[in-house]
Structure 1
Amino acid sequence: MIRNVVLGKLRAGADPAVLEEGLDGIRRLQVDGMLSVTAGRDAGLREGNWDYVITADFADADAYRRYDLDEEHNRLRRECFAVVSEQVARAQFAF
């Protein structure tokens, strides 16, 4: 299985409604081989945390690649996350 982890830092003055639209859209995505997805804003429990996180589990690397190329996923990247994010970090790992 593959786990994808994404962390984002918001731009100053970013519209929180645009971020929520993106997070909601990610939660609703259905891609063949996507086993689970969780997305949300930082709970603010520690100073210096990133502002939002997305984690998604996939059956295998091919399923992750389908997600990465998915049209709706890429629309959300362009129209929501790119608009509000100053910085995005991501990693995929097998487990």
Structure 2
Amino acid sequence: MATTAAASVSAAAPSTTDEQPLTHLEREVLEEYVKLKENLDKLAPLLADLGSDATAEILDGLRLLERKTSLVSTLLKASVYSIVLQQEMFDGVGD
């Protein structure tokens, strides 16, 4: 990769003789930018892959989980209401 970075930096160097050559610091900065670009080029397909199919599968799974959780919550509320109602009826009969 260093040769690629060096080639890119030398390609970015001025081609006319009127312009001043790059300083050492400028070359180092350009090399770092080239490394950053290469890393971003490697990262882009991975992020695209993560953002496409996996997300749809996760969302489908979460929707199913939400429906099941909602059903369990409804059944729990109904059970609690039934117990409270039975308790009130039991207390009313005992008086």
Would you call these one fold, judging by a TM-score over 0.5?
no
* Higher strand proportion: 1
Q: What range is the shorter-chain TM-score in?
A: under 0.3
User: Over alpha carbons, which structure has the higher Rg?
Assistant: 2
With the length of structure 2 as denominator, give the TM-score of the two structures. Answer: 0.22
Higher relative contact order (CA 8 A, sep 6+): 1
Structure that is richer in helix per residue: 2
- TM-score for both structures, normalised by structure 1: 0.22
